[in-house]
Amino acid sequence: MYEKPLPAIDVESGPFWRAAREHRLAIMRCRLCDRHFFYPRELCPHCHSSVVEWTAASGRGTIYTFTIARRPAGPAFKGDMPYVVALVELEEGPRLMTNIITGDVESIRIGQKVAAVFDDVTEEVTLVKFAPA
């Protein structure tokens, strides 16, 4: 039984979570200003146009910042300690929150290159995590 928080998938986030289940990282791009963004939104957060579309991200990025959790975010995370939570900056520009999968939390550095790995945590949900590239 998976006890960590799961997304309440809705009509807006559905395409992202469906892609993740197929081990693809889907983000949005604005066709007017040509910038990418994450998380998905009705309007482009940069220029507010409604001409936005889903696009495949490369899954490559760098660690913008991170922390090592020495206390769990609730009992479900106890078994993972210590674990790395990071903001990864994707090649395409947007940042997202994720875990860095590593056997050595002390080795993680800002600026480190990482690549997406897909963690099928339940039958319905796959989380996009990252590992040093």
Residues lying near other proteins in the complex (CB under 8 A) are found at 4-10, 13, 38-39, 64-74, 76-77, 80, 83, 85, 87, 95-99, 110-111, 121, 125, 127, 129
Q: Tokens 């994450």 label which residue?
A: 38
Q: Shortest approach of other proteins to residue 53 CB, angstroms? A: 19
Q: Tell me the C-alpha distance between 9 and 88, whole Å.
A: 22
Residue closer to other proteins (CB basis): 29 or 98 = 98
Q: Tell me the C-alpha distance between 82 and 94, whole Å.
A: 26
Nearest to 97 by CA among 129, 70, 58, 54: 129
Residue closer to other proteins (CB basis): 20 or 29 = 20
Q: Shortest approach of other proteins to residue 21 CB, angstroms? A: 14
